[in-house]
């Protein structure tokens, strides 16, 4: 695999996604016409959202919703609130969702939404008014059979409740399946909060089998201690993994014998930071990434593994809990080092998988216990891991290219079988 991206463009995640798409499409021998169909968003909308602020002023916010593909089912993807949201960003994230849903073979397409605003500068009332007006403006695009939003950057279960209520008031009946990531009282699913971190653990357990490793002898470094990294740490520690380091934005802690994750979580809740945790050594957060370990889980931000540092990694398995933590140029270095990469569109797909379960439960009006949610999640994650690694072996490619090949093949097959309506 040779990247087509220059060093100057290396940290552009959208160019990286496009390069990986092209590599997979080349391997699958997808023709130019089908590539155009697979790349082009099916539908997109830009809306202007007038909102009266608490001080009486009128302000107009801009929002977007992009449905990249609805070939395999309703669009699926989060809504983010941030001052730097752009239409190009939303387009790229929607395409990422298409491939993520396809690689775990759930019946969704890809979508994404965003509103240009700074939630830190807005009151709860202002956020609610923005959310409800944004929902009203995109209401013809969304729905349980059309497009199902979810939380993303700076949105949460409360925002989903506002969207669900607004949609329900317009259609004149309670429609819980219009969004996922809702409060439990409004049709949320058990196991949803833990799902992304749990999925990371599940695919890591499958990778360990290839190395003949047991959890108790597996040293893990996790970058990020939020919902994904923190949950992965907690669950993996409970399964006997030795979590030797946690890296956060303001520092890192290390214990060669394994950190007490429950105690670290309690300490962080009390102090607001992992720094100063008494049962660990403090480390430079930049150097902790390069500790000798069996598993490295980047679960924070994008572009943390680049051409500048990939050759310094000392892990055997890289499980990408975050979206886009590795650049496409770094992929080549990791391949040379024979690092076993579990790519993001597989590794962190536990969240969208349990979102699918939530949608299914809402439509049935019948809710599963957590044991059933987790067992079905394991079935999906293990089956998807086997499909990706099987493709990698069959086509003599790395796991990331294989994951994109699985996804593109499934979406292209659906389009061919449906035909082009004219």
**CATH code, domain carrying 229:** 3.40.50.720
Nearest in space to 161 (alpha carbons), one of 128, 116, 193, 134? 128
- Do 361 and 367 contact (CB within 8 A), yes or no? yes
Compute φ and ψ for 69, nearest 5 degrees.
Answer: -145, 135
Which of 292, 316, 347 is at the close of a domain?
347
Residue 231 has pLDDT above 70, yes or no: yes
Q: Report the distance separating Cα 281 and Cα 247, nearest Å.
A: 12
pLDDT band at 392 (very low <50, low <70, confident <90, very high): very high
Both tokens assigned to 121: 């500068």
- pLDDT tens digits, 123-155: 999 999 999 999 999 999 999 999 999 999 899
The answer to the question of residue 366 being in a domain is no
Share of the chain above pLDDT 70, in %: 99
Average pLDDT, the chain: 95
**Same structural domain for residues 214 and 155?**
no
**Same structural domain for residues 147 and 115?**
yes
32 Cβ partners below 8 Å, 6+ apart?
A: none
**Same structural domain for residues 49 and 171?**
yes
**Same structural domain for residues 151 and 223?**
no
The answer to the question of residue 282 being in a domain is yes
Q: Domain limits at 67?
A: 39-177
**Same structural domain for residues 273 and 141?**
no
Side-by-side strand order, sheet with 281-283: 281-283, 251-254, 242-248, 219-223, 295-298, 317-319, 340-342
Which of 130, 147, 177 is at the close of a domain?
177
* Alpha-carbon separation of residue 130 from 62, 133, 138, 181, 343 (angstroms): 10, 5, 12, 19, 35
pLDDT band at 73 (very low <50, low <70, confident <90, very high): very high
Residue 1 has pLDDT above 60, yes or no: no
| pLDDT for position 3 | 58
Question: Alpha helices of 172-284 — where are they, by DSSP H?
Answer: 195-211, 227-238, 261-271
**Same structural domain for residues 302 and 199?**
yes
Q: What angle do CA 114, 62, 359 make, to 5 degrees?
A: 30
**Mean pLDDT in residue range 351-379:** 97
Compute φ and ψ for 278, nearest 5 degrees.
Answer: -70, -25
| pLDDT for position 11 | 81
- Do 391 and 402 contact (CB within 8 A), yes or no? yes
The answer to the question of residue 410 being in a domain is no
**Same structural domain for residues 45 and 147?**
yes
**Same structural domain for residues 253 and 293?**
yes
Both tokens assigned to 300: 């924070």
The answer to the question of residue 71 being in a domain is yes
Q: How many CA atoms lie within 13 A of 83 on its CB side?
A: 5
The answer to the question of residue 370 being in a domain is no
The answer to the question of residue 256 being in a domain is yes
Q: Report the distance separating Cα 152 and Cα 196, nearest Å.
A: 13
**Same structural domain for residues 233 and 118?**
no
Q: What's this model's pTM, rounded to 2 decimal places?
A: 0.94
**Same structural domain for residues 64 and 121?**
yes
**Same structural domain for residues 52 and 88?**
yes
Alpha carbon 51 to chain centroid distance?
30
**Mean pLDDT in residue range 242-257:** 96
Number of domains in the chain: 2
**Mean pLDDT in residue range 361-385:** 97
- pLDDT tens digits, 156-167: 999 999 999 999
| pLDDT for position 2 | 58
CATH of the domain at 57: 3.40.50.10860
| pLDDT for position 15 | 82
- pLDDT tens digits, 274-322: 999 998 999 999 999 999 999 999 999 888 999 999 999 999 999 999 9
- Do 395 and 402 contact (CB within 8 A), yes or no? yes
**Same structural domain for residues 343 and 202?**
yes
| pLDDT for position 326 | 94
Residue 13 has pLDDT above 80, yes or no: no
Q: Report the distance separating Cα 403 and Cα 304, nearest Å.
A: 21
Determine how β-strand 75-82 pairs with β-strand 110-116: parallel
Q: Report the distance separating Cα 228 and Cα 158, nearest Å.
A: 19
364 Cβ partners below 8 Å, 6+ apart?
A: none
Q: Is 295 helix (H, G, I), strand (E, B) or coil?
A: strand
| pLDDT for position 4 | 66
| pLDDT for position 8 | 72
pLDDT band at 113 (very low <50, low <70, confident <90, very high): very high
- pLDDT tens digits, 161-210: 999 999 999 999 999 999 999 999 999 999 999 999 999 999 999 999 99
The answer to the question of residue 299 being in a domain is yes
Which of 113, 147, 177 is at the close of a domain?
177
Q: Which residues are catalytic?
A: 112
The answer to the question of residue 184 being in a domain is no
């Amino acid at each position: 695999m040779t990247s087509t991206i220059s060093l100057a463009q290396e940290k552009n995640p959208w160019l990286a996604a496009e390069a990986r798409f092209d590599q997979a499409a080349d391997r699958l021998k997808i023709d130019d016409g089908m590539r155009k169909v697979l790349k082009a968003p099916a539908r997109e909308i830009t809306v202007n959202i007038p909102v009266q602020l608490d001080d009486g002023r009128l302000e107009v916010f801009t929002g977007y919703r992009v449905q990249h593909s609805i070939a395999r089912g309703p669009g699926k993807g989060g809504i983010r609130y941030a001052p730097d949201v752009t239409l190009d960003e939303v387009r790229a994230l929607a395409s990422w969702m298409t491939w993520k849903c396809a690689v775990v073979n759930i019946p969704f397409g890809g979508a994404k939404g965003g509103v240009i605003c700074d939630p830190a500068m807005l009151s709860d009332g202002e956020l609610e008014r923005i959310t409800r007006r944004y929902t009203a403006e995109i209401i013809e695009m969304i729905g349980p059979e059309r497009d199902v939003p979810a939380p993303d950057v700076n949105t949460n279960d409360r925002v989903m409740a506002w969207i669900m209520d607004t949609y329900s008031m317009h259609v004149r009946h309670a429609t819980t399946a219009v969004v996922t990531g809702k409060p439990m009282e409004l049709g949320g699913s058990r196991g949803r909060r833990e799902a992304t971190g749990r999925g990371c653990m599940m695919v890591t357990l499958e990778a360990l089998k290839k190395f003949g490793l047991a959890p108790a002898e597996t040293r893990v470094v996790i970058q990020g201690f939020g919902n994904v990294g923190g949950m992965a740490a907690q669950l993996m520690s409970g399964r006997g993994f030795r979590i030797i380091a946690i890296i956060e934005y303001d520092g890192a802690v290390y214990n060669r014998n394994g950190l007490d994750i429950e105690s670290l979580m309690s300490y962080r809740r009390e102090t607001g930071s992992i720094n100063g945790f008494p049962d660990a050594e403090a480390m430079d957060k930049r150097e902790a990434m390069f500790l000798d370990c069996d598993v490295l889980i980047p679960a924070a931000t994008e572009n943390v593994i680049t051409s500048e540092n990939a050759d310094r990694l000392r892990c055997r398995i890289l499980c990408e809990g975050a979206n886009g933590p590795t650049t496409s140029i770094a992929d080549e270095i990791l391949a040379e080092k024979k690092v076993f990469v579990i790519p993001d569109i597989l590794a962190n797909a536990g969240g969208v998988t349990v979102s699918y379960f939530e949608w299914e439960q809402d439509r049935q009006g019948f809710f599963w216990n957590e044991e059933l949610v987790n067992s079905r999640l394991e079935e999906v994650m293990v089956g998807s891991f086997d499909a990706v690694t099987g493709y990698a072996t069959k086509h003599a490619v790395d796991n990331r290219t294989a994951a994109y090949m699985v996804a593109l093949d499934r979406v292209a097959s659906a389009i061919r079988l449906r035909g082009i309506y004219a």
